[in-house]
Structure 1
Amino acid sequence: MKRILLLFIIPLVLVACSNDEEVTPNKRFNDYVNHWNEQEFGEMYGMFSQVATESYPEDQSTLRTEKIYQDLNVSDLQIDFEELNEEELEMAMEEGTAELPFTVNMETIAGPITYEYEATLVQQGEEDEEEEMNWYVNWDPGFIFPDLKDGGEIGIDTVNPKRGEILDRNQMPLAINGTIVEVGVVPGELGDNAEQSKKQIAELLGISAESVDTALNAGWVQDNLFVPLKSVLSTEEELLSELSAIDGVQRRETTGRVYPAGEAAGHLVGYIRSITADDLEDLDPAQYSANDKIGSRGLEAHYEEQLKGKKGVKITINKEEQDEIILAETPVEDGETITVTIDVNVQEKLFKSYEEDAGTAAAINPTTGETLALVSSPAFDPNEVLYGTSGDLWERMENDEQNPLINRFASTYAPGSVFKPVTGAIGLKDGSIKLGEGIEIDGLTWSNGEGWGNYEVTRVSTSDGPVDLEDALIRSDNIFFARKAVEMGSDAYVSGLNEFGFGEDLPFEYPITMSTISTSGDLDDEVLLANSSYGQGELEMSALHVALTYTTFLNEGNMIMPTFLTSEETAQVWKEGLITPEQAKAIQEALRKVVTEGTAKKAQNADFPISGKTSTVELKLSDSESGAENGWFVGYPTDDQDILIAMMVEETQDKESGLAVQKVTDVLKQMK
């Protein structure tokens, strides 16, 4: 009896195991969908039915799908299906065929696409053959998109956005989409001296003869077709006339980026350039392709996302003698117009004032905080970068001793004596300096004892009596400020500098290098502390930050927040209560006397009163050897305080004294 029971149980176990191992349409299609979701197209093709593989070879099915997905930049692919219930599954197992509805969701370059379709799975294989029974997908092109089931081709239509323009405060253009001239050749019209003509064209356009040949040998070129070679500005009339005289040369007007301010705003605005392979690795492939342009340097780069806009894309299915079927569409979005507080008139006048000199300047409205100009000299002309015909442009700029590729207004420099009003303000708030209270200073040099070794602070002139803050500013007395900083001590002085914005980024739209106290961030060395008090040592500031510190004296002790976009709220306080209104007024009065009695007398050339402060910064090569000198002047109209200019001129040691004063004064006179 026990033996019979055992024999009965064994067959049941075998049947159960067999049912568990049997492949169902649900499981098989689930495997297929998993491969699809992962875009594993090779594995998908191995699950096609015999009918599908005979009707649709791999290059017409899965490889075609893969190519379409790449072209459409498909992402977030998700396929879901409804499993057969028990009754449907039992019927499918009996009949050897199953219908499974599924839904496809995906993101593409033109937006989301969703569709529903139905998969048919069939059993293949012979139980008594080596090939085991299994379920296979009866694939057809409707799996890619249902409207492709009966044929058709995918179309992708792209509309490029117009790049946004950059305007100044008065709606004057800094970067616009203007008319340029595309110069090219019709090969069949080059005539008998084609080689000589091509060489002449290349020389005039500043390109290589090889690049001309490459363009003319492109696969699409025919004798009667226009082959573009280079774009030039429509104002290059002489060049265009010479080119037009050559047989085969033609020109067409088109739209291109134009920079009306040229060199004057080169560093500020930047330019656009062709996309590189490295760029494409980091950019959104839906918005950038190898033939696009991208902002390089300046505002063009800083506001690239806003200026670029977004491409319009439409994905369609096209069939003969039928209207196109739209699968997805994203309308084009043109780039934004960026309007800055810059006044191109001030920008150009400041730049031209440099002539052959190098340096940097920032102009602001000291009451509102609006930035009127950011100048770096020398510079480059963005138009020449894009359309110039000099083949050695970059080589010349890279080898230029004045470094025209350096953006000086975004950099920092030792401010020298123009910084003394800030030290004065720190001392007034600290209490170590009191208005009208002077100290006795003897001679032209001062040292604070043995700890200083042989080092001494020097001043340019002696004093007849006690030196107070006003006298120290008028005569630019280094010793007064050095002694007061030492009296304050490092901690108090550094704390005061931090209150003036040192060690933090300017709250400013355009990236400007942070002003720093020293390489270490502190002033533990007393000699360094003394030197920093009059703007030397290791202290470094941008011209814009220098200008902003002076707003403290024109706004009752509050430093104004700088603005750069016209959309920003103006006249906002950045640093509040740095000194009292009375103290601010006293420094204002001293800055006027710097012009009438002190080191900035050249500013009296204007027929209106100017206030300000000068400095000469010695760039020492070593403790014993002097180097070049940079000259500074911060100036503003004493009464109509609507513009303040902080200017630095490099290497003034062999030039006329007060060069920066003269340049700022000339610009202010032109603005009145």
Structure 2
Amino acid sequence: MKKIIILVLVVALTVGVLPLWHYLKANKATPEEVFNEYVRQFSQQNYEEMFKLISEGDVETYDYTKKSFTEKYHAIFSGIETSSIEVLSKELLYEDDSETYKGLFKVKINTFLGEVSASYQTFFKEEKTKDGKEWKIKWNPSLIFAGMEKGDKVSAQSFLPQRGEILDRNGNPLALDKDVYEMGIIPGKLGESKEAEIIKLSAYFKIPEQRFRQALDQKWVTEDIFVPIAVMPAEFQPESLDEDLPGVYFQTKRIRYYPEKDRAAHLIGYVKQATSEDLKKDADHVYTSGDYIGKSGLEQVYEKQLRGKKGGIIQIKNEKGEQKSILKQVDVINGKNINLTIDAALQSNMYEAMKQDAGAVSAIHPLTGEMLALVSYPSFDPNLMVSGMTAEQWKAYSENPQLPFLNRFSSLYAPGSTFKAITAASGLTAGTTFPEKKREISGLQWRKDNSWGGYFVTRVKEASPVDMVDALSYSDNIYFAQEALEMGAANFEKNASTFGFQEDFQLPIHLKKSQLSNDGIENEVLLADSAYGQGEVLMSIVHLGAAFTPFVNDGNMVMPVLIKEENNKPIDKPVISSEVASTVQKALIQVVERGNGTAHNLKTAKEVLAAKTGTAELKSKKGEDGKENGFVVVFDTKSPSILLTAIVEDVKNRGGSHYVTAKIKPVLDQYLTENE
């Protein structure tokens, strides 16, 4: 036996040149040329062209026509979701004794289960034609896959993994797979007047008529087949129907379900069916049409861990359906659960407290950094993202002026007077601020000198003299503006920036980057405004909450964490001295304890609370009438267990920050009672 060198045919692809097969046919193709062309057409899955190269007599022996032959190949290789066939090797051998040619080639087939290696051997025969003799491939079923015989079939089964759950700190599910009912229609049982029944069903289920019509107009629909229309709410039971509805049937369907609904939507996110764009980006061929993929929130961030890995089997079966051989088998790997530090009960209670007002709440354990709640209001029901929204539902969300799709706990806000605690700590660190130092301040307006033009710093309460504790208790803007000017921009920026402005908190949620200024504090007016949390200062409420943890932890800022892991150790960074932290904490306690303190309405017998409130004006220029956002940061000091940060938008003429403290007080009191 000796090897024949394989010829690589190069045919110029110019206008008027015949297709390659016609070229071969016209020039009495050699076995080498036929073999090369057969392998090429197979690797490109051009089964019609491949058919031209094989002996039709052999094909007829196995009861195939050209049509059924190509359909067979298409069915098998599309059934295993072949994305490509790569030729690994090929050679043509000549047997001297029998004067026959034998072609050997190996390929790598990329399927829904990954790579499948296959080896083939071909033999050749000369057949008489009207033009003389032509070399043809001798075909048999083993040229589909080795070992196949007449009547054999290729069977492909996919085993889907169970998607991991997202759980709160107590093991309560925030995202899970759940069996629900899907409502559908059997067209033949709708009755004589199908149009009238559609109108009736549309009104009964509050589903647009168009959805019924589009579903029933699909090409595959027949009179006796179940046609899915809509996934029903998780709590729905068919027995609850109070009318006879001809043609309506229900079947169970497993979907992704979010028990907290809108209360945790911005945090948990949702899944949706993979789009054509998703499939194009899927270089590893993980997804196929109909698969669900995380589209936002933690569902998207932890998609790889949650989804698991598909399993399946590609096998050859005989006519009786018995297994002959396995081409590829992959065990299914279920997705992993994601355990959060979130307290679902606190999350739900805070969301309910925020209702009617746009805003956000974050709660963190001030000693461990564990995030206990992350609330954004208003929100949306992620279950509708999975099952599909009606046009009316989408319109209601998209036209809501409070922007329910906006994630407010990751957005940036001017923190207002809550920032004064950071300014106080910065001044104490710089040695320019002292608790006992008093400033003589008269009136409700102040400016340094005429160089400020018509710009004034204002305050809401007239008092003099004023010390640091006074200024924090009733929130004196003028006091802190003067302290910042004495400190100087360099010291202010240096000390304030240590409170997390340089941090990438590495949370699995998107947080916009906070800032002290756009491009440095380069004038006195900006420095004065920055001292009480306006100017160009912007922070997320997650960052603002973390920035208050040094006042609980002897000057160390605890990094927030969201994923609960065994042996979690708090990560903290020194920001201020323990003496400065203690001094500021004592002052913040007076914000609650003093009768004129801005957070006095939070006072409780359950704990000694420390807090700072604030409002931030939103206007493009001085003197105009703008909106106000209200803030509060509050934590327990005896046995620290929670540090809560809240913002409510547009509190002007509604009580300012007092409106915010009144909203959160019942939930805070309940939490402190339950965690005594």
TM over 0.5: yes
**Counterparts in 2 of 1:363-374, with a 5 A limit?**
363-374=363-374
Q: Which residue of 2 aligns with 1:165?
A: 165
Q: Secondary structure at the match of 2:147?
A: helix
Residues 183 and 572 of structure 1: is their aligned pair in 2 closer, same or farther, counting only changes over 3 Å?
Answer: same
Deviations 1:57-84 (A, max 9, x none): 7666678656644543344723314565
SS in 2 for 1:559: strand
Partner of 1:581: 578
Contact 1:435 1:583 survives alignment (8 Å): no
**Residue 211 (1) aligns with residue 211 (2):** yes
1:19 matched residue in structure 2: none
Matched, 1:594 2:574: no
Provide, for residues 300-344 of structure 1, a one-character-per-residue CA deviation record: whole Å limited to 9, x for no partner.
Answer: 233222222332222122331251332112222222222211101
Counterpart for residue 608 of structure 2: 609
Q: Which amino acid aligns with 1:577?
A: P
**How many Å separate the matches in 1 of 2:279 and 2:562?**
30
Q: 1:163-242 to 2 correspondence within 5 Å? A: 163-218=163-218, 221-236=221-236, 241-242=240-241
The CA deviation string for residues 350-379 of structure 1, in whole angstroms up to 9 with x for no partner, is 111123111101001010100000001111
Mapping for residues 431-450 of structure 1, pairs under 5 Å: 431-450=431-450
Counterpart for residue 11 of structure 1? none
Q: Tell me if the contact between 2:102 and 2:123 (Cα under 8 Å) persists in the aligned partners.
A: yes
Cα 1:227–1:33 change in 2 (3 A) is closer
Q: How many residue pairs align between the two structures?
A: 639
> Is 1:111 aligned with 2:143?
no
- Judged with a 3 Å threshold, the aligned counterparts in structure 2 of structure 1 residues 67 and 450 are, in CA distance, closer, same or farther, namely farther
Aligned CA distance change for structure 1 residues 188 and 137 (closer, same or farther; 3 Å): closer
**Residue of structure 1 in register with 2:535 after alignment:** 537
Report deviation, 1:198.
2.0
Alpha-carbon contact 1:429-1:578 (below 8 Å) kept: no
Deviations 1:63-113 (A, max 9, x none): 8656644543344723314565xxx68x38xx7532244333334222332
Which residue of 1 is the match for residue 20 of structure 2?
none
Letter aligned with residue 106 of structure 1: I
**What secondary structure sits across from 1:376 in the alignment?**
strand
Inter-partner Cα distance in structure 1 for 2:514 and 2:242: 51
Displacement, 1:276? 2.9
Stretch moving more, 530-539 or 210-219 = 210-219
Q: Which residue number in structure 2 is paired with residue 548 of structure 1?
A: 546
Q: Which residue identity is paired with 1:342?
A: I
Aligned to 1:480: 479
Counterpart code for 1:573: I
Measured in 2, the distance between the counterparts of 1:397 and 1:428 equals 48
1:283 aligns with: 282
Distance 1:104 1:156 in 2: 19
Gaps of 5+ in 1: 1-21
Kindly indicate whether the alpha-carbon contact (under 8 Å) linking 2:298 and 2:508 is maintained by their aligned counterparts in 1.
no
Q: Is the 8 A contact 2:104 2:120 kept in 1?
A: yes
CA distance in 1, matches of 2:493, 2:73: 66
Distance in 2 between residues matched to 1:140 and 1:183, nearest whole Å: 48
TM-score, structure 1 normalization: 0.85
1:31 and 1:448 mapped to 2: Cα distance? 89
Tell me how far apart the structure 2 counterparts of residues 120 and 78 of structure 1 sit (CA, whole Å).
Answer: 18
Give the SS at the match of 2:278. Answer: helix
Paired residue for 1:401? Answer: 401
Distance in 2, matches of 1:98 and 1:387, equals 59
Distance 1:555 1:462, change over 3 A: same
State the distance in 2 between where 1:162 and 1:273 align.
16
Segment drifting more, 370-379 vs 184-193: 184-193
Residue number in structure 1 paired with 2:245: 246
SS in 2 for 1:315: strand
1:79 is aligned to 88
Q: Secondary structure at the match of 1:392?
A: helix
Partner residue of 2:422?
422
CA distance in 2, matches of 1:389, 1:140: 52
Give the Cα separation in 2 of the matches to 1:225 and 1:124: 50
Shift of residue 26, structure 1, vs aligned partner: 6.7
Q: Cα 1:606–1:257, aligned 2, differ >3 Å: closer, same or farther?
A: farther
Structure 1 residue 643 displacement after superposition:
0.7
Q: Please name the residue that 2:19 is paired with.
A: none
1:257 aligns with 2:256: yes
Q: Give the 3 Å change call, closer, same or farther, for CA 322–200 of structure 1 in structure 2.
A: closer
TM-score (norm 2): 0.84
1:557/1:331 CA distance change after superposition, 3 Å: same
Q: Distance in 2 between matches of 1:622 and 1:64?
A: 74
Q: Distance in 2 between matches of 1:426 and 1:540?
A: 17
Cα distance in 2 between the residues matched to 1:418 and 1:204? 52
Paired AA for residue 530 in structure 2 = S
Residue 380 of structure 1: CA displacement? 1.7
Q: Are 1:564 and 2:573 counterparts?
A: no
CA separation of 1:235 and 1:26: change in aligned 2, threshold 3 A: closer
Equivalent pair of 1:79/1:102 in contact (CA under 8 Å): yes
Question: What amino acid maps onto 1:481 in structure 2?
Answer: F
Q: Which amino acid aligns with 1:524?
A: E
Contact 2:92 2:101 in 1 (8 A): no
* Structure 2 residue identity aligned to 1:470: V
Deviation at 1:28, TM superposition (A): 7.2
Give the aligned partner of residue 22 of structure 2: none
Alignment CA distance shift 1:98-1:601 (3 Å): same
How many angstroms does 1:124 deviate by?
Answer: 8.2
Please tell me the residue identity of whatever aligns with 1:114: S
Q: 1:342 to 1:98 in 2, by over 3 A?
A: same
User: Is the 8 Å Cα contact of residues 208 and 390 (structure 2) preserved in structure 1?
Assistant: no
Do the aligned partners of 2:341 and 2:372 also contact (CA within 8 Å) in 1?
yes
Following superposition, the deviation at residue 463 of structure 1 comes to: 4.0
Structure 1 residues 201 and 606, CA gap change in structure 2 (3 angstroms): farther
CA distance in structure 2 between the partners assigned to 1:52 and 1:450 by the alignment:
103
Equivalent residues of 1:100, 1:118 under 8 A apart = yes
CA contact (8 A) 1:507 1:561 kept: no
CA distance 1:254–1:130, shift in 2 (3 Å): closer
Q: 1:151 to 1:489 in 2, by over 3 A?
A: farther
* Greater fraction helix: 1
Percent identical among aligned pairs is: 35
CA–CA separation in structure 2 for the residues paired with 1:32 and 1:212: 49
Q: 1:434 & 1:134 partners in 2: Cα distance?
A: 103
Unaligned runs of 5+ in 2: 1-27
Give the letter aligned to residue 618 of structure 1.
Answer: E
How far apart are the structure 1 equivalents of 2:36 and 2:216?
54
CA distance in 2, matches of 1:617, 1:206: 43
CA displacement at 1:627 relative to structure 2: 1.1
Task: Supply the distance in 1 between the matched residues of 2:151 and 2:522 (Cα, whole angstroms).
Answer: 80
Question: What is the SS of the residue equivalent to 1:668?
Answer: helix
Q: Displacement, 1:485? A: 2.9
CA contact (8 A) 2:347 2:375 kept: yes
Alpha-carbon shift at residue 231 of structure 1 (Å): 1.8
- In the alignment, is the contact (CA less than 8 A) between 1:611 and 1:635 conserved in 2? yes
Is 1:328 aligned to residue 328 of structure 2?
Answer: yes
The change in CA–CA distance for 1:640 and 1:665 in structure 2 (over 3 A counts) is farther
Question: For 1:151-191, what per-residue CA distance to the aligned partner results, in whole angstroms no more than 9, with x for missing partners?
Answer: 53332212222222221111112122234222223334433
CA RMSD of aligned residues (A): 3.4
Aligned to 1:377: 377
